């Protein structure tokens, strides 16, 4: 039953509950898919085959007794290797953690286990989540299932590739600069970045064990799936207050308004002035706006008043420099690696765009951080959030590109990317359309909307109001009926 691996997680859960198929059968189907395809994708870096089989057997026995563990009873999933999993190796792609076996699950992992999910293994990623590709010094690079000569994105490339290739029904990930959204776009799957601090990050690296809790802003926990309903279920399970993270507010999930497409007021933009996008992505955005308008939605081209990407990028970079100064380990290997990446961003790509995205300008914050400077950046961020909140009040959602390009061919970390003859700095090409919403904290979901002439996926970023994820997902579902669809790559 190879078709099992491309059914949605909620369909599998229902079939298992109805005894149409057993958890053991579903788990074996995924393990067979992994055995067949993972060697060319490198999406899963640590497979927990024996425990997955044992857990599936227990799931079936529990159902036979009339027990239901929850919404994902018996459904196989994977976990990005950045989240601690009790008794299962967790490395974050970082050499000093190559043998690290956590004693406790990350909060989100524990919540998914409690809902009945079966963890197949851990998905491969960028080293310490520090690149828009998924390469590290422990495992082979992750390849895109649509074309293995192309990257699956980063830092959660293994997550997106596993879901797209039918190696997992859904995957849990994190996002501080686009780590969910860009791989979802590159691999043609659905991905959610929730509101800042909506979901606990307890048990997540790159704050390696023993480091202080520094990543308190801009980082979120999200998920990948092959349907928006799966995203909604997963989000509902992992969101909410956590005793391990007192800064996660006890805010209940919102209730969707139930608006139909014809009731929606939709803003859209096909590119920032400073960072033009690939022509096929721009054309796809324009087609989307036209289709939605024809279906009766109010669709208007719009950009936040006084939006200046340079200002946004500078503020994000300063905050990131402050928090990473203490969150990242300072061993010789990591320092050398960090300076190599900074050198590439400062020397590769179009000069004007390089000046816009040059992270080396934040060396003062890295080398000589001050408490006053840190608080000043947080105050500036508060103002930006308030500005964004006010501007988005008039709209139900805002549609934007996810990145300036579709998936690109493998290359050294942070190397420049060619966009129709113009070399773009790596960070700008991949983060210009995602980073503003990490800075503002607004939720965003990516849905697949088509493919390029080279059969590479194109995703659409849908941005919603803070703390209104359920409304955002409901609106995304309305849009998805018109413009979205998941297709799995041929050969899988």
- Catalytically active residues are 80, 155, 179
Helix (H, G, I), strand (E, B) or coil at 78: strand
Backbone angles phi, psi at 401, to 5 degrees: -65, 165
H or E stretch including 183?
Answer: helix 181-187
Burial class (CB in 10 A: 0-12, 13-18, 19+), 279: exposed
Q: Which of 173, 201, 203 is nearest to 106 (CA)?
A: 203
Taking the C-alpha atoms of residue 2 and residue 271, their distance in angstroms, rounded to an integer, is: 40
Q: Which of 444, 448, 452, 442 is nearest to 460 (CA)?
A: 448
Taking the C-alpha atoms of residue 327 and residue 218, their distance in angstroms, rounded to an integer, is: 14
**Residue where the block lists tokens 């074996």:** 28
- CA dihedral of 409, 412, 417, 423, whole degrees rounded to 10: -140
Non-local (6+) Cβ contacts of 471 within 8 A are 254, 255, 256, 257, 396, 464, 465
The distance from CA 281 to its chain's CA centroid, rounded to whole angstroms, is 19
H or E stretch including 111?
Answer: helix 107-114
| Omega before residue 155 within 30° of 0, cis | yes
| Total Cβ atoms within 10 A of residue 223 | 31
Taking the C-alpha atoms of residue 161 and residue 44, their distance in angstroms, rounded to an integer, is: 9
Taking the C-alpha atoms of residue 471 and residue 462, their distance in angstroms, rounded to an integer, is: 12
Q: Which of 428, 464, 429 is nearest to 446 (CA)?
A: 464
Taking the C-alpha atoms of residue 235 and residue 239, their distance in angstroms, rounded to an integer, is: 6
Helix (H, G, I), strand (E, B) or coil at 398: strand
Q: Which of 11, 15, 10, 240 is nearest to 110 (CA)?
A: 240
Contact 420, 429 (CB under 8 A): no
Strands 147-151 and 265-268: unpaired
Contact 191, 446 (CB under 8 A): yes
∠ at Cα 177 (364, 248), nearest 5°?
A: 95
**Residue where the block lists tokens 């899988």:** 492
Backbone Cα Rg of the chain: 21
């Amino acid at each position: 039953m190879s078709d099992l691996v491309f059914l949605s997680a909620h369909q599998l859960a229902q079939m298992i509950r109805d005894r149409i198929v057993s958890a053991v059968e579903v788990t074996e189907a995924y393990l067979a898919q992994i055995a067949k395809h993972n060697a060319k994708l490198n999406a899963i870096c640590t497979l927990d085959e024996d425990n997955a089989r044992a857990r599936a057997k227990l799931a079936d026995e529990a159902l036979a007794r009339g027990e239901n563990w929850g919404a994902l009873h018996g459904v196989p999933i994977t976990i990005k290797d950045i989240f601690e999993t009790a008794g299962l190796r967790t490395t974050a792609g970082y050499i000093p953690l190559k043998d690290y076996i956590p004693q406790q699950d990350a909060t989100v992992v524990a919540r998914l286990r409690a809902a009945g999910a079966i963890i197949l293994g851990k998905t491969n990623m960028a080293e310490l989540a520090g690149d828009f590709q998924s390469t590290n010094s422990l495992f082979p690079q992750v390849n895109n299932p649509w074309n293995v000569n192309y990257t699956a994105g980063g830092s959660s490339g293994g997550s997106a590739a596993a879901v797209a290739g039918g190696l997992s029904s859904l995957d849990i990930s994190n996002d501080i600069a686009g780590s969910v959204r860009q791989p979802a776009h590159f691999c043609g799957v659905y991905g959610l970045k929730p509101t800042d601090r909506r979901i606990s990050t307890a048990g997540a690296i790159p704050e390696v064990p023993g480091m202080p809790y520094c990543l308190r802003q801009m980082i979120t926990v999200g998920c990948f799936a092959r349907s928006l309903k799966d995203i909604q279920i997963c989000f509902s399970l992992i969101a909410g207050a956590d005793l391990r993270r007192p800064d996660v507010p006890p805010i209940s999930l919102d209730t969707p308004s139930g608006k139909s497409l014809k009731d929606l007021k939709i803003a859209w933009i096909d590119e920032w002035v400073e960072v033009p996008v690939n022509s096929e992505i721009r054309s796809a955005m324009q087609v989307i706006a036209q289709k939605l308008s024809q279906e009766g939605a109010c669709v208007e081209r719009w950009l936040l008043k006084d939006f200046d990407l340079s200002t946004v990028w500078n503020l994000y970079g300063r905050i990131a420099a402050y928090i990473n100064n203490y969150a990242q380990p300072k061993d010789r290997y990591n320092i050398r690696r960090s300076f190599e990446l900074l050198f590439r961003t400062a020397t590769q790509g179009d000069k004007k765009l390089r000046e816009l995205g040059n992270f080396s300008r934040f060396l003062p914050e890295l080398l000589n951080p001050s408490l006053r400077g840190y608080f000043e950046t947080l105050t500036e961020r508060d103002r930006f959030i308030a500005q964004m909140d006010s501007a988005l009040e008039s709209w139900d959602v805002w549609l934007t590109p996810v990145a300036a390009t579709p998936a690109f061919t493998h290359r050294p970390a942070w190397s420049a990317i060619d966009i129709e003859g113009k070399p773009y700095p790596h960070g700008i090409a991949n983060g210009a359309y995602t980073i503003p919403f990490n800075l503002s904290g607004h939720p965003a979901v990516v849905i697949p909307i088509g493919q390029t002439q080279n059969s590479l996926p194109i995703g659409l970023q849908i941005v919603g109001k803070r703390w209104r994820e359920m409304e955002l997902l409901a609106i995304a579902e309305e849009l998805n009926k018109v413009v979205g669809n998941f297709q799995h790559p041929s050969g899988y």
